[in-house]
Amino acid sequence: MKKIGVLRFLGTNCDRDVWQAVEDVGLKPEWLWYEDQFQVADYSAYVVPGGFSYGDYLRCGALAAKAPVMKSLGEAAAKGYPVLGICNGFQILCETKLLPGALVRNEKRKFVDRWVSLNPQTQTKWNAKARAVIKLPVAHGEGRYYAETEELKALWDQEQVWMTYVENPNGALEDIAGVCNKQKNVCGLMPHPERAMADWMGGADGRVIMESLLG
Partner 1 sequence: MDNLADKLKKYRLSKDEYARIESVLGRAPQGVEWALFSALWSEHCSYKSSRVHLKKFAFNSPRVLQAMGENAGVIDIGHGEKVAFKMESHNHPSFIEPYQGAATGVGGILRDIFTMGARPIALANFLCFGRPEAPRMPQLVEGVVAGISGYGNCVGVPTITGQTEFHDSYNNNILVNALAVGLFCEGDPVVTSVAKGNGNYVVYVGAKTGRDGVHGASMASESFASDSESKRPTVQIGDPFFEKLLIESCLDVMKQDLVVAIQDMGAAGLTSSSFEMAAKGGVGFKIHLDRVPLRDTSVGPEEILLSESQERMLLICEPAKFEAVKKVFHHWGLDASVLGEVYDGPEVELYWKGDLICKMDPKILTDNAPVYNRPYQKWAPKKQTAELKAKDLNLIDVLSSVEGTSRRWIYQQYDQRVGAKTARDCDDSVSVQRLPSGRGFGLVLGCRPHVMRVDAQVGGYDSGFYPALELAAKGFRPLAMTDCLNFGNPEKEEIMSEFVAAVEALAETAKILDSPVISGNVSFYNETLNQNITSTPSTGLVGLRESVENIPRSHFTHKGDAIYLWRLPQVELVGDQLGRTPQFKGAIDAQKAARFVDAVRVAVQNPSINSSRVNGKFGLGYTLARMCTETLGAAVDAVAGGFWTERLYEVVLAGPESVMEPLQKAASTCGSELVKIGTVTEGTLQLGPQKHSLNELNKAYNTGWSQNFAQLA
> Which of the stretches 65-73, 91-99, 110-118, 142-150 binds partner 1 when contact is defined by CB under 8 A?
110-118
184 binds partner 1 (CB under 8 A): no
- Establish whether 140 is a catalytic residue: no
Are the CB atoms for 52 and 20 separated by under 8 Å? no
Among 112, 128, 154, 173, binds partner 1 (CB under 8 A): 112
* C-alpha to C-alpha distance for 163 and 169, rounded to whole angstroms: 14
Among 111, 133, 148, 156, binds partner 1 (CB under 8 A): 111
Q: How far is residue 158 from each of residues 69, 101, 145, 153, 187, measured CA to CA in Å?
A: 29, 14, 17, 9, 14
Residue 115 or 146: which CB sits closer to partner 1? 115
- Establish whether 194 is a catalytic residue: yes
Binding to partner 1 in span 117-146, by CB under 8 A: 137, 139, 141
Residue 52 or 81: which CB sits closer to partner 1? 52
Instruction: Single out the residue of 35, 12, 164 nearest to residue 89, CA to CA.
Output: 12
- Establish whether 192 is a catalytic residue: yes
43 binds partner 1 (CB under 8 A): no
Work out the burial of residue 197: count CB atoms within 10 Å of its CB; fewer than 13 is exposed, 13-18 middle, 19 or more buried.
Answer: buried
100 binds partner 1 (CB under 8 A): no
114 binds partner 1 (CB under 8 A): yes
* C-alpha to C-alpha distance for 114 and 137, rounded to whole angstroms: 5
* C-alpha to C-alpha distance for 149 and 3, rounded to whole angstroms: 39
| Active-site amino acid positions | 87, 192, 194
